[in-house]
């Protein structure tokens, strides 16, 4: 399982990536949409965890572009403030929305759920 | 009932400053009453006045015509009466010689015949050219009397016939005479003189008139020749001027002792008589006056009803406008308050997002710290832990700055006039929108001069105005667009702020209406149509002006000009300055 974390807050994604490593999840991180797209060209990620609001390319737009590169990619969205519209948009795409700050255990459970694996999977 | 006598707008106009400047209800009410009453009553009064003049003229003409007809008829009767007597005497002269007439018996017989056939003859006399009455037939003993010294003798001798006025004569009894001259074949002449009954003569002038009317005969000197009902007895002088000579019957208006009268008169031809008919003007026009009084009553009642209706309608309408204005102001106040809350809500959403990011960092860094201590064992370096702590501190500081910023902003939401630095207010307001601008790649350009743009203003209102306009600009531009806020000082008294964007612009047809309440081109997208109208209201409350320039497809510029000193001046509230 390989995860791509994308958020314009470097401190957040770097800490999150390191925490995932303690939980046997390989995670790379990018701090912009462009950087994430470049990384997706070279690595086959199973899951992307994306911040919704980012400069230049927002999370939803980025997920669409990533899916063009990696059609099997699953996505989980993180947002600073979850609006009803955001959740509706996510639900229509069959993806999960989590509101920051998110509990790491909840996030790991969500990852397994999205990837259709048991916790130890 | 109280509202009708003293309507709400009247009471409120005097004791409330709340609606001052919105509408002068009292002036509008007075104007409505004056104009409506004038336009309603002026034609009515003009029509009544016109009708009064026309109908009075018609009534007077009618009276004059009737009087003239009466006088003409009487004139013909009197003239005929006198001519008939003259003709009778002339017939006697043609049928008799001087000799036969000089016989008293014959003269008495003729007198009897004349009295029976024509009536009115009292006596007959033959007077020779020396003025001596040679023969006399009648009830008096006048034979031998000489009349040469009397005026009528000379006039009768020269004219051929003569009708005298009424006079006393030798008998000291009012009477009149008719005299006819007859020339003798051998030269010389004699006169046939007859005395006429004044009673019969008077009856000709005694017309059947209404109670206030009078008819009589005067001579050319104004001496009454027949008795009058109101103007004296025979041979007394009339208390009215003798009317000017006229060949025809005339009717004139005149002043009599009893009031205004119509005087109809006619000069009787070949006689010293003037027939006068005097009619009381008020009596003749009584029916017309009565109609006038009824119409006047109707007019007064109409005026009263019109004024009452005008008063009631004007009061009702102005009161309705007043109540509608009150409701409108209340709705706008409510909308303004809602807009203020919406502004705060927008801020809160931005702040929540802003705070959530550093909070998430804190959460993850703390979690990492815990993970390192849990899973990393003793290999975790002291420097690593210190670096994590610094990261957490930095995020906490970031949160603190955001909340301070928010508190600084919220403190000025309430009304207060204070000296402000425009650059600081613009920066503070835009601070909450920068992140959204960043996400949408909108470039915010500010050009607000420092220092020289310090001025007195209500900070909360100015913040709300800027927030509304910049939010509007954000909605107008596409991602990657430009929004600029610039400010300068066009003169020493004013500050000019411009918020411009290169968005979709406003259609010319909409431009004139954008400050109207509830006008929105974004209703399908949740626009209430109140944002710009509230902004307009806020600018007006700050004694400023707002204008808009826009080109569809190119962008929009909102320009606000504010006074450097708030008109309120009490440092407390600028609500109605």
Quote the number of domains for chain B.
3
Q: Domain span at residue A64?
A: 2-101
Task: Report yes or no on A69 lying in a domain.
Answer: yes
pLDDT value, residue A31: 93
Q: Which domain holds residue B280?
A: 206-284
B189 and B223 belong to one structural domain: no
pLDDT, average across residues B319-326: 88
B274 shares a domain with B163: no
In a domain, B170, yes or no: yes
Task: Note whether residue B379 is domain-resident.
Answer: no
User: What's the pLDDT score for residue B198?
Assistant: 86
Look at residue B378 and tell me if it is in a domain.
Answer: no
In a domain, B257, yes or no: yes
In a domain, B49, yes or no: no
Q: Are B188 and B235 in the same domain?
A: no
In a domain, A107, yes or no: no
pLDDT tens readout for residues A31-66: 999 999 999 999 999 999 998 888 888 888 899 999
User: Is pLDDT at B19 greater than 60 in this prediction?
Assistant: no
Of B167, B201, B235, the last residue of a domain is B201
Q: Is B306 contained in some domain?
A: no
Is residue A8, in this structure, part of any structural domain at all? yes
**A49 backbone dihedrals φ, ψ, rounded to 5°:** -110, 115
Q: What is the pLDDT of residues B536-553, one digit of tens each?
A: 888 888 888 999 998 888
Q: Find the Cα–Cα–Cα–Cα dihedral B444, A85, A75, B474, rounded to 10°.
A: -10
- For residue B573, give Cα distances in angstroms to A107, B407, B491, B536: 52, 21, 25, 18
**Is A70 inside a domain boundary?**
yes
Residue A56 belongs to a domain: yes
Pair B470, B559 in one domain: yes
Q: What is the CATH number of the domain that holds B244?
A: 3.30.450.20
Query: Could you tell me the pTM of the whole model?
Result: 0.50
CA distance B369 to B376: 10
Answer yes or no: is pLDDT of B128 > 60.
yes
Q: What's the total number of domains in chain A? A: 1
In a domain, B44, yes or no: no
Q: pLDDT per residue over B167-196, tens digit each?
A: 887 778 888 899 999 998 888 899 999 999
Chain segment B458-485, per-residue pLDDT in tens: 887 888 888 889 988 988 898 889 999 9
For residue B144, tell me if it sits in a domain.
Answer: yes
In a domain, A15, yes or no: yes
Same domain, B522 and B548: yes
Q: Which of B357, B385, B395, B433 to probe the A interface (max A CBs under 10 A)?
A: B357
Q: B571 falls in which pLDDT band (50, 70, 90)?
A: very low
Residue A118 belongs to some domain of the structure? no
Mean pLDDT for chain B overall: 84
- Per-residue burial over B541-570, b if 16 or more Cβ lie within 10 Å, else e, is bbbbebeeebeeeebbbbbbbbbeebebee
CATH for B528: 3.30.565.10
- Residue B308 pLDDT > 90, yes or no? yes
* pLDDT, average across residues B414-428: 78
Is the CB of B38 inside 8 Å of chain A's CB atoms?
Answer: no
- What rounded mean pLDDT belongs to chain A? 84
The pLDDT of residue B577 is 33
Q: Is residue A68 part of a domain?
A: yes
> Nearest residue on chain A to B357, judged by CA atoms?
A80
* Alpha carbon separation from A43 to A28, A70, A108 (Å, rounded): 10, 9, 21
Instruction: Please indicate whether, in this complex, the C-beta atoms of A12 and B441 are within 8 angstroms of each other.
Output: no
- Same domain for B210 and B170: no
The domain spanning residue A80 has which CATH number?
3.40.50.2300
Residues B354, A15: C-beta atoms closer than 8 Å? no
Q: Which of B346, B351, B359, B361 would best serve as a mutation to test chain A binding (most A beta carbons within 10 A)?
A: B361
Residues 6+ apart with CB under 8 A from B6: none
Domain boundary among B268, B284, B300: B284
- pLDDT reported for residue B91: 92
């Amino acid at each position: 399982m390989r995860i791509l974390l994308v958020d314009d807050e470097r401190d957040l994604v770097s800490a999150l990536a390191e925490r995932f490593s303690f939980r046997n999840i390989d995670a790379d991180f990018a701090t912009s949409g462009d950087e994430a797209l470049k990384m997706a060209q070279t690595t086959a990620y199973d899951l992307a965890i994306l911040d919704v609001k980012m400069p230049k390319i927002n999370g939803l737009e980025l997920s669409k572009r990533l899916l063009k590169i990696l059609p099997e990619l699953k996505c989980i969205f993180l947002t600073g403030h979850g609006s009803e519209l955001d959740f509706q948009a996510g639900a229509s795409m069959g993806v999960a929305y989590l509101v920051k700050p998110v509990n790491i255990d909840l996030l790991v459970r969500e990852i397994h759920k999205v990837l259709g694996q048991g916790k130890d999977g | 009932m109280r509202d009708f006598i003293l309507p709400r707008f009247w009471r409120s106009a005097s004791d409330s400053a709340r609606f001052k400047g919105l509408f002068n209800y009292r002036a509008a009410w007075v104007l409505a009453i004056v104009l409506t009453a004038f336009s309603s009553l002026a034609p009515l009064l003009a029509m009544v006045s016109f009708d009064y003049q026309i109908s009075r003229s018609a009534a007077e003409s009618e009276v004059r015509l009737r009087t003239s007809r009466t006088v003409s008829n009487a004139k013909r009767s009197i003239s005929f009466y006198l001519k008939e007597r003259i003709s009778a005497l002339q017939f006697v002269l043609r049928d008799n010689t001087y000799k036969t007439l000089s016989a008293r018996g014959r003269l008495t017989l003729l007198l009897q015949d004349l009295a029976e056939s024509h009536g009115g003859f009292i006596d007959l006399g033959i007077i020779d050219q020396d003025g001596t009455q040679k023969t006399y037939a009648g009830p008096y003993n006048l034979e031998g009397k000489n009349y040469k010294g009397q005026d009528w003798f000379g006039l009768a001798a020269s004219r051929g016939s003569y009708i005298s006025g009424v006079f006393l004569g030798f008998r000291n009894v009012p009477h009149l005479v008719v005299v006819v001259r007859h020339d003798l074949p051998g030269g010389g002449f004699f006169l046939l003189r007859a005395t006429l009954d004044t009673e019969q003569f008077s009856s000709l002038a005694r017309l059947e008139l209404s109670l206030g009317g009078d008819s009589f005969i005067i001579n050319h000197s104004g001496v009454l020749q027949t008795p009058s009902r109101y103007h004296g007895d025979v041979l007394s002088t009339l208390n009215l001027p003798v009317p000017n000579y006229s060949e025809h019957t005339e009717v004139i208006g005149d002043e009599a002792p009893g009031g205004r009268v119509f005087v109809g008169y006619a000069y009787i031809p070949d006689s010293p008589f003037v027939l006068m008919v005097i009619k009381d003007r008020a009596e003749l026009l009584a029916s017309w006056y009565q109609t006038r009084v009824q119409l006047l009553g109707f007019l007064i009642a109409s005026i009263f009803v019109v004024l009452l209706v005008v008063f009631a309608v004007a009061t009702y309408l102005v009161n309705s406008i007043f109540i509608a204005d009150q409701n409108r102001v209340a709705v706008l106040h409510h909308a303004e308050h809602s807009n203020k809350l919406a502004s705060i809500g927008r801020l809160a959403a931005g702040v929540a997002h802003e705070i959530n990011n550093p909070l998430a960092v804190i959460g993850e860094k703390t979690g990492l710290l815990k993970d390192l201590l849990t899973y990393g064992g003793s290999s975790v370096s002291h420097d690593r832990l210190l670096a994590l702590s610094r990261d957490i501190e930095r995020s906490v500081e970031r949160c603190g700055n955001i909340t301070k910023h928010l508190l600084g902003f919220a403190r000025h939401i309430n009304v207060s006039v204070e000296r402000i630095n425009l650059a600081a207010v613009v920066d503070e307001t835009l601070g909450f929108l920068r992140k959204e601008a960043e996400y949408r790649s909108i470039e915010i350009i500010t050009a607000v001069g420092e220092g020289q743009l310090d001025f007195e203003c209500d900070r909360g209102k100015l913040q709300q105005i800027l927030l509304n306009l910049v939010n509007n600009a954000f909605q107008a531009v596409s991602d990657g667009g430009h929004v600029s806020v610039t400010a300068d000082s066009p003169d020493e008294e004013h500050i000019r702020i411009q918020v411009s964007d290169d968005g979709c612009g406003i259609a010319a047809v909409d431009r004139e209406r954008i400050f109207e309440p509830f006008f929105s081109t974004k209703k399908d997208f949740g626009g209430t149509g109140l944002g710009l109208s509230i902004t307009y209201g806020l600018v007006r409350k700050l004694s400023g002006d707002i204008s808009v320039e826009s080109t569809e497809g190119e962008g929009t510029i909102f320009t606000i000009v504010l006074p450097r000193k708030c008109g309120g001046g009490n440092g407390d509230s600028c609500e109605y300055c």
